[in-house]
Homo-oligomer: A and B are copies of this chain.
Amino acid sequence: MDILVVGSVAFDSVETPFGKAEEVLGGSATYFSTSASFFSDVALVAVVGDDFPEEHKKMLEARNIDIRGLQTVPGGKTFRWKGRYEYDLNQAHTLDTQLNVFSDFNPTIPEDYRDIPYVFLANIDPELQMEVLEQVKNPKLVACDTMNFWIEGKPEALKKIFGKTELVIINDSEAREFAGNANLVKAAAKILACGPKTLIVKQGEYGALMFSGSSVFSAPAYPLEDIFDPTGAGDCFAGGVMGYLAKTGDTSEANIRRAIIVGSVMASFNVEAFSLNRLKALTVEEISLRYGEFRQLTHFEDL
């Protein structure tokens, strides 16, 4: 196993201007692991209720994802999220959240997962993220995500997590909010001062920025004519980043730049359909073709 991810597995109900999906497979750990599975072997730790169907488990296993760490709570209900996107598609409007079995989630890392070298702490309570870190042994690279809810509710716990991770991958607005600074360069400096070597700021349709020491990398988003459903784009991005880093075993800055483009490629495919439908049909040839298109997209010559 190359990568351990701890996060959510959920049923999502999503409305966009282009259609509607009811109780489809979602969750941060699901999107992350499916995306990362194109590059590396992934072990998933999460919790579901016994309403979680076999077909979803089979889909994950078909992608070679190890789901022995997916706990099933007898008589419990799986986490549900309901949201709507307006025409601009940049902002999800949450209509309903039912934590269900997720509210008592205690991530127990199976013994043989504890020395997996790459660890991704998807968006869950930072105190649970810390519990995960207390169980793993000398990981090569720990990365984490979070959300505004934890920035507002548990900033100190989050700061501790940032201090224990090499790579923080969060949204634009989250970076500004955590740092209390509207200027992204200053916000990044403040986050890096908490400990991580590298910060990646996701900017949705505007791409992503990487801050590492005094170096900055700006990655574009792929210009898509049809963005069907943005749900999971950030987790697919992180899955591509971590999947590529684990596959190559190279965490140099030059390789993190490549990994960010790989992540952008994965996110750009994911938004082309509801749930994991696009990734289910994706091929490695399509991934390298689009990587090449990113090079064209950003290419310019010396003066």
Q: Within 8 Å CB of A205, what residues of B?
A: 184
Give the docked Cα–Cα distance between A302 and B288 (Å). 10
Give the docked Cα–Cα distance between A261 and B257 (Å). 20
With both chains docked as a complex, state the minimum distance between the C-beta of A302 and any C-beta of chain B, in angstroms: 7
Give the docked Cα–Cα distance between A186 and B225 (Å). 6
Number of copies: 2
The DSSP consensus for interface residues of chain A is mixed
Give the docked Cα–Cα distance between A191 and B292 (Å). 27
Most chain B CB inside 10 Å of its own CB: which residue of A215, A217, A295: A217
Cβ–Cβ contact B227 & A223, under 8 A: no
Interface status of A195 (Cβ within 8 A of chain B): no
Cβ–Cβ contact A185 & B225, under 8 A: yes
Q: Within 8 Å CB of A186, what residues of B?
A: 225
Cβ–Cβ contact B291 & A258, under 8 A: no
Cβ–Cβ contact A301 & B220, under 8 A: no
Partner of A217, one of B215, B217, B262, B300: B300
Cβ–Cβ contact A185 & B87, under 8 A: no
A208-229 CB mask vs B (1 if < 8 Å, else 0) is: 0100000111111101111100
Partner of A223, one of B184, B207, B257: B184
Known A186-B225, A225-B183, A227-B183: A297·B87 in contact at CB below 8 Å: no
With both chains docked as a complex, state the minimum distance between the C-beta of A211 and any C-beta of chain B, in angstroms: 8
Q: Which of A73-91 contact B (CB under 8 A)?
A: 87-89
Most chain B CB inside 10 Å of its own CB: which residue of A203, A220, A260, A301: A220
| Interface residue tally on A, bucketed by range | 35 or more
Of all chain B residues, the one with the shortest Cβ separation from A300 is B257
Interface status of A103 (Cβ within 8 A of chain B): no
Q: Within 8 Å CB of A297, what residues of B?
A: 216-218
Cβ–Cβ contact B223 & A209, under 8 A: yes
Q: Within 8 Å CB of A182, what residues of B?
A: 87-89
Give the docked Cα–Cα distance between A185 and B222 (Å). 10
Q: Within 8 Å CB of A281, what residues of B?
A: none
> Ordered nearest first, which 10 A-B pairs have the shortest CB separation?
A218-B220, A206-B206, A257-B300, A87-B182, A185-B225, A185-B223, A216-B223, A88-B182, A298-B298, A218-B297
Can you sample 13 A-B contacts with CB below 8 Å? A88-B182, A183-B226, A185-B225, A203-B206, A217-B298, A217-B299, A218-B220, A218-B221, A220-B220, A257-B299, A258-B303, A261-B300, A295-B302
Which A residues lie at the B interface, using CB under 8 A?
Answer: 87-89, 182-186, 203, 205-207, 209, 215-221, 223-227, 254, 257-258, 260-262, 288, 291, 295-303
